[in-house]
């Protein structure tokens, strides 16, 4: 059972973390590039959990009303690119909008009136996407604590050998240098 408060916590967490939001946008970009939104109802999904980021995978849970289940044929496109897609029918619990006194019920624990709850059938689609799909999706810059890191500059520095301490490198060269200078030729 899905609680509306869990969804609110997920959205709040995404808003607070700029990197999480950028990953979700990249995730959406991959879905768009694979033309998933061309299939019926896929555009109507709402993120209810995620992204859950691991070393090689990114998981995102999307929710759809029961009458607007996304077309499962689109999942085949994702599967061809190494994704895993799971469909599950679930129930969403949310509070009713208070319009009259009948919309309130007594909470025995707190001894006060609280909004009544309603249940709605939904479909939850769990997409587990390989991280390399997102990494290939034109990521040129990453955000670090206070600044921005250009990944192209890091690769160039690595190619130039700037990743190794110069003192350590010069010590290695001295250890590998033979005593006779003519042996260098």
Spell out the per-residue pLDDT of the chain, length 185, in tens. 777 777 777 778 777 777 788 888 888 888 888 889 989 989 988 888 878 888 888 999 999 998 999 999 999 989 998 999 999 998 888 777 777 777 677 777 777 777 777 788 899 999 999 988 886 444 444 444 445 555 566 666 766 777 666 555 555 555 555 555 455 44
* Residue spans per domain, the chain: 2-135, 141-178
Q: Which two tokens stand for residue 104?
A: 């309130």
HSE of 147, CA atoms in CB hemisphere, 13 A: 3
Q: Other C-beta atoms within 10 Å of 82: how many?
A: 12
List the Cα angle 117/119/122 in 5-degree steps. Answer: 145
Q: 130 near 57, Cβ under 8 Å?
A: yes
| Strands (DSSP E) found in 15-140 | 46-53, 57-65, 84-95, 104-107, 112-115, 117-130
Whether the link from the prior residue into 58 is cis, omega within 30° of 0, is: no
Per-residue pLDDT, 175:
56
Compute the distance between CA of residue 2 and CA of residue 88 in angstroms, rounded to an integer: 12
pTM for this entry: 0.65
């Amino acid at each position: 059972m899905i609680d509306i408060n869990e969804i609110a916590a997920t959205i709040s967490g995404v808003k607070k973390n700029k990197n999480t939001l950028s990953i979700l946008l990249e995730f959406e970009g991959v879905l768009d590039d694979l033309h998933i939104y061309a299939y019926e109802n896929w555009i109507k999904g709402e993120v209810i959990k995620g992204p859950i980021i691991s070393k090689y995978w990114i998981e995102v849970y999307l929710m759809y009303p029961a009458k607007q289940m996304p077309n499962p044929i689109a999942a085949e496109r994702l599967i061809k690119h190494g994704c895993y897609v799971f469909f599950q029918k679930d129930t969403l619990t949310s509070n009713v909008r208070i319009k009259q006194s009948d919309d309130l019920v007594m909470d025995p624990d707190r001894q006060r009136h609280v909004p009544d709850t309603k249940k709605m059938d939904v479909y939850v689609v769990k997409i587990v996407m390989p991280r390399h799909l997102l990494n290939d999706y034109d990521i040129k810059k990453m955000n670090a604590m206070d600044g921005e890191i250009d990944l192209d500059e890091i690769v160039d520095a690595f190619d130039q050998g700037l990743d190794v301490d110069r003192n350590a490198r010069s010590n290695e060269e001295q250890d590998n240098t033979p005593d006779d200078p003519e042996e260098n030729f």
